[in-house]
Amino acid sequence: MNNIVAIVGRPNVGKSTFFNRLIQRREAIVDSVSGVTRDRNYGKSEWNGKEFSVIDTGGYIKGSDDVFEAEIRRQVELAIDEADVIIFVVDVEEGITPMDDEVAKLLRKVTKPVLLAVNKVDNSMREKDAVEFYNLGLGEYYTIAGMNGSGTGELLDALVELLPEAVAPDENAVALPRFAVVGRPNAGKSSFINALIGEDRFVVTDIAGTTRDAIDTTYNRFGFEFNLVDTAGIRRKAKVKEDLEFYSVMRSVRAIEHSDICILVIDATRGFEGQDQSIFWLAEKNRKGVVILVNKWDLVEKDTMTTRDYERKIREELQPFTDVPILFVSALTKQRLLKALETAVDVFENRKQRIATSKLNETMLPIIENNPPPALKGKYVKIKFCMQLPTPTPQFVFFCNLPQYVKDPYKRFLENKMREIYNFEGVPIDIYFRQK
């Protein structure tokens, strides 16, 4: 189970630069995901063999200076609630500001580990200036320079020491599919779950998940059996204003990483908004299966074109990953809820399907022969063989003479062909090119 690390601090101390450095460190080791990374504030990192998710709170704050203070306080409170470790970034150039004091005051009260990172320390003079930050009362600090990366190694060594050990899965436990119900606040996630579970609570058992908050409910009705990972019923509303984008993304991170399939519930009366998109790309980035439910469909004024137009609009926002089931449901009237479950189970099956190497070559090589990759600098790419990799999510490797010459549009062409032939609806797939 992935640990969550939150980067907090006031604006302009270099949180995002530090965040980008952590994410790139990971990208350098692992093939970066094709397509566009939409969410600039969430990523995965790895150090000394330990993986963790990083959330940069800075990218979520919008507004004037006077709005900042309340926003930052709220985000720090949320980070304290949700993250396993908090990195508090301050700026050596400006020294301790009143806002740093405010943040430190919140952080001094928590039992979770807090690492103090003094940024922009790129010479020995500034090393001396950093001593002032002992006054924040957070103990030892780490001096870093986000721009050139000096000092980040020591900070990361300390960070991974503090991360809880991953819990090994129970060998004897039957692995049921895990469906996470995610979405922005007030989209109707709780109503959807209550409508599914109904009053017959006896078919439900609550197992506390490996995380504090994502509670697994085993669902066993109508011939379906799976674990529901619910993000809806787990919120302490007291501290955080409902419409905060950061809030629903941070809440969703654990549930998404903890699941096989994400059922993204959106509010039909509001449309497919920025927050819904962030959650969608979060699921896509984690290579989870996705089903989109447009809830509260009973409240929308309809004419003959409504469903088609609505669906088209959503698909435009999903580009280039448009092969996703979209269902129009109502948790209130229970309209199409069983269909939603059936679809989620289908997507789960699609995600774990294996295609025999002989069959894959039989179907794909003729297509490649008729539509070879475009020549680059007079050199022709010849693809000889392909196979599916033994990974938990669908990944395919194509062996050829010049893998570096195969560009993204051709990868997308192959992906679309595979989606036409094999059913990968709702499932992100990865395609790699390697030298034979």
Q: What CATH number does the domain containing 407 carry? A: 3.30.300.20
Amino acid identity, position 358? S
Instruction: Using alpha carbons, select from 378, 385, 374, 380 the residue that is nearest to residue 413.
Output: 374
Structural domain span for residue 27: 3-162
Q: What is the pLDDT of residue 426?
A: 94
Q: Do 210 and 79 fall within a single domain?
A: no
DSSP 137: S
Is position 169 within any domain? no
pLDDT, tens only, 227-260: 887 665 444 444 444 445 666 677 778 788 888 9
DSSP 110: -
Q: What is the CATH number of the domain that holds 116?
A: 3.40.50.300
Q: Do 205 and 112 fall within a single domain?
A: no
- Beta bridge partners, 183, equal none
Q: Do 110 and 234 fall within a single domain?
A: no
Q: Do 315 and 414 fall within a single domain?
A: no
pLDDT, tens only, 204-233: 344 433 334 455 677 887 788 888 876 654
User: Known binding site: residues?
Assistant: 9-16, 56-60, 119-122, 183-190, 230-234, 295-298
**pLDDT band at residue 30 under the 50/70/90 scheme:** very low
pLDDT, tens only, 38-94: 455 777 888 888 888 888 876 555 555 566 677 777 777 777 777 889 999 999 998
Q: How far apart are CA 175 and CA 267, in angstroms?
A: 31
Are residues 381 and 401 in contact, defined by beta-carbon separation less than 8 angstroms? yes
pLDDT, tens only, 410-424: 999 999 999 999 999
Is position 245 within any domain? yes
Angle between helices 152-162 and 15-29 (to 10 degrees): 80
Q: What is the pLDDT of residue 212?
A: 40
Average pLDDT estimate for 368-386: 89
Q: Do 140 and 220 fall within a single domain?
A: no
CB neighbourhood size of 164 (10 A): 11
Q: What is the pLDDT of residue 169?
A: 52
CB neighbourhood size of 174 (10 A): 6
Q: Do 51 and 91 fall within a single domain?
A: yes
Q: Do 229 and 328 fall within a single domain?
A: yes
Reported pTM: 0.73
Least confident range of 248-257, 264-273, 376-385: 248-257
Q: Do 375 and 323 fall within a single domain?
A: no
Q: What is the pLDDT of residue 215?
A: 56
Is position 173 within any domain? no
Is position 140 within any domain? yes
Q: How far apart are CA 37 and CA 40, in angstroms?
A: 7
Average pLDDT estimate for 97-117: 90
Q: How far apart are CA 315 and CA 324, in angstroms?
A: 8
Q: Do 265 and 302 fall within a single domain?
A: yes
- Beta bridge partners, 327, equal 293
Higher pLDDT among residues 299 and 232, named by residue: 299
Q: Do 81 and 151 fall within a single domain?
A: yes
Query: Among all chains, which residue has been given the structure tokens 């992100």?
Result: 428
Q: What is the total count of domains within the chain?
A: 3
Are residues 86 and 113 in contact, defined by beta-carbon separation less than 8 angstroms? yes
Torsion of CA 312, 318, 321, 322, to 10 degrees: -10
- What token pair was written down for 199? 């009053």
**Angle at Cα 291 formed by Cα 286 and Cα 297, nearest 5°?**
140
Q: What is the pLDDT of residue 64?
A: 53
User: Known binding site for GTP: residues?
Assistant: 9-16, 56-60, 119-122, 183-190, 230-234, 295-298
Q: Do 128 and 12 fall within a single domain?
A: yes
What is the separation, in whole angstroms, between the first and last Cα of the chain? 35
Query: Does pLDDT of 178 surpass 80?
Result: yes
Amino acid identity, position 404? Q
pLDDT, tens only, 346-362: 999 999 999 999 999 99
Is position 36 within any domain? yes
Is position 18 within any domain? yes
Q: How far apart are CA 425 and CA 325, in angstroms?
A: 7
Q: Do 427 and 344 fall within a single domain?
A: no
